[in-house]
Amino acid sequence: MDCALNFKPGQIVSLECGDACLHSEVIQVVEARQICWVRPLMLVGLVSGKDLSHQWPEEYTLSDLRDGADLLWPLSLFRAALDTEVISLLSELQSLDSDQKDSTIASRQLRDFVDRVWAAFPSAFN
């Protein structure tokens, strides 16, 4: 059985694509359709442009997506986030000063990430 079906509401999941990783909170898993309703929390991008690894380098950007749109995406794209990778990022996210301009930039970054995921995993959306 796919471990993604074990996702529970409130759990943090991750979706990696290229040099970025989207961390989101699970709202609901719709098993019959194999999709996951998630609320994006943050987008972490590498500044150096190197491949993504589970150990974040010192140079990264952190975008606050908590005021953005929810996503309904295939379960197969997500993995359970590791505590060690998100705890420090969540602490940093809480300390960010967000304003209207940052919200607009973060929305654009999420939209760009969505476009990259659609392009990278077209069969997941069929």
- DSSP per residue over 29-70, as a string? EEGGGTEEEEEEEEEEEESS-PPP-SS--S-EEEEE-TTS--
pTM score, whole prediction: 0.84
Q: Look at residue 31 in the predicted model and tell me its pLDDT.
A: 92
User: Could you read off the pLDDT of 17-47 as tens digits, one per residue?
Assistant: 999 999 999 999 999 999 999 999 999 998 7
Query: ∠ CA(28), CA(113), CA(65), 5° rounding?
Result: 60
Tokens of 118: 């659609």
| CA distance linking residue 21 with residue 53, whole number of Å | 10
- For 102, counting Cβ atoms within 10 Å of its Cβ (0-12 exposed, 13-18 middle, 19+ buried), the class is middle
pLDDT higher than threshold 80 for residue 58:
no
pLDDT higher than threshold 90 for residue 126:
no
Cβ-count burial 32-49 (b if 16+ within 10 Å, e if not)? eeebbbbebbbbbbbeee
Q: Look at residue 91 in the predicted model and tell me its pLDDT.
A: 86
| CA distance linking residue 36 with residue 109, whole number of Å | 21
